[in-house]
Structure 1
């Protein structure tokens, strides 16, 4: 283990922002435990080892208590310096057209599994009075997400929960930071079934996941409360506090409604 840096735990690290967050940790000298629910996490760990980090992959379904426990037991009481709770799942289409099993999986991945893991590792950090936690929230949490309603609502939870937990821990040696990106060029929209939408069909309007991750990592290391990535996303986040909710929902509809890519 890297004596000076320590151990970083990153979830959803097989691709996208999570992969790039793990790369940031590896480049900063941390050893890694990286988790995802797919076998590609083993390949990702090989990439991080090539940087010089010790990287242990854990294939676990973090939408379940059993998956969270599998990841936690892998730590074997090693102190965690950084916890980057990035695992998340999207879901497009109209709420009543979605399957209940898919809806529950989004909620269990984005909310339930996240708070279970943070609860376990956060208690260990509190005993040591040391640690940094990064949540991957989203500017989607500021907007009623028509045709992405469940996902946006889960991100509203993550954004809010992060700020609340930070306040609870303000007199400790633990910092909590919320990374709030906008649309990012990852596999998110494909996996969410949103490639026929305006928001999911134009990579030119999306942010680079490596840049997003770097901004989030640096904010965490500074102990910042939160960071919105990208100038246009900052404007959108500011507007969300001024524009009526009904208008925001209509704006989101134009971006996320199935078939909107052709309009």
Structure 2
């Protein structure tokens, strides 16, 4: 099933007809592997694609590591064939993977990051909500909204004004001592670190309106590769600073999230 290349008629290339995972490896071992496999399988089921076997997926990371930290990207497409959008009579899914060296960013953990609000609004599509499908054009368009190296991420809300995620990270906030993350039943990617924190009852799904984001006690961005980035300041698309937050020595979200990734709980 695994192939190192994609032919012209691959449906993932033509239509975004597939799913992918981005997995952190430490000393050759995958972190949050169960959550990645479950999300990939759920995405394949949602799209009607036969998922790879667990042995096939495990083979993508079992080579001898060249460095301590790596990122493994796994792509599963429906394969080739079909006429237009119609599915092929017998689909043969295609599995592709690649490992690259990675260096964590402890400065972002300790000092926090600046983020901005994006003008683009995510479309609601419950059939695709939560899964990491290959069509990421909304994220690509949103990431084009800024070029300043001082802005590390952009926040995305949906067409109803609810904050959903960042362009490549999940969103978390603290209000009245409770750490929350957006409900993702209409759009957005349900991250694997997010899933692990919800399973551990460290984070509660909820809703946060774009108009209320500047009033939260703390704000974070996080994913299963970068870890947890505290947000120190929030900017509008017009370049106005909406809010600044003081970084804390003891970060409650890093304390519970970073050990799941092999990162220090306190940078």
TM-score normalised according to structure 2 size: 0.29
More strand, by proportion: 2
TM-score normalised according to structure 1 size: 0.29
